[in-house]
Amino acid sequence: MEQIANIKFCVKLGKPFSETYELMQKVYGDVCLARSNVYNWFDGFKNGSEDLNDVERPGRSEASNRAELMEKDREIIAVDGNFTVRMLAEELNSSTGTIWKILTDDLGKRLVCARFVPHQLNEDQKIGRVEHCKDIISTAENDPDFLDSIITGDETW
């Protein structure tokens, strides 16, 4: 707010943009507004704007939208865990950064082999793994050559 007021002051004094920006850099150093921001404020004040507050932008706030996005993310991943962050962002009309934060921070997912998976299996997943293992055991008991047909990654052909 202080920097914006100083930009307005320079405009009222009739200083050109280049001099205004140099003065801002001398006074504020590393915490000076970016050149483009200084220019935007300078141009606004030069064209008659008197308001020191930033213009409010349209759209809902991210906080109100985040709970809704989190629920939709959870539903989509429950159906198909192969969605990428980019695909989810496109599907939900959101940014990839927001989707990434929801998946990692809110839903407790982590990236494994380009898929988001939970840190712990839910009950359906545990039951599914047990059933799959039982199927493999019964197939191995019924077909003595079954285990010979399994290809491992360390065999060379």
Q: What is the pLDDT of residues 3-45, one digit of tens each?
A: 888 998 999 999 999 999 999 899 888 888 888 888 988 988 8
Domain covering 61-148 assigned CATH 1.10.10 in the classification: yes
Burial of 145 (0-12, 13-18, 19+ CB in 10 A): exposed
Q: What span, in angstroms and rounded, lies between the C-alpha atoms of 28 and 3?
A: 8
More confident: 121 or 15 = 15
At 64-105, the pLDDT tens digits run: 577 888 888 888 888 877 778 888 888 888 888 888 888 888
Please tell me if the domain spanning 2-46 has the same topology as the one spanning 61-148.
yes
Which pLDDT score is estimated for 131? 94
Q: What does the domain layout of the chain look like in residue ranges?
A: 2-46, 61-148
Return the closest-CA partner of residue 17 out of 48, 33, 40, 49: 40
**Span 2-46 CATH architecture:** Orthogonal Bundle (1.10)
pTM: 0.37
Contacts of 52 (CB under 8 A, 6+ apart): 1, 4, 5, 8
Q: Could you tell me which of 128, 65, 138, 133 has the C-alpha nearest to residue 102?
A: 65
Give the side-chain half-sphere CA count within 13 A for 94: 25
CA distance 136 to 153: 19
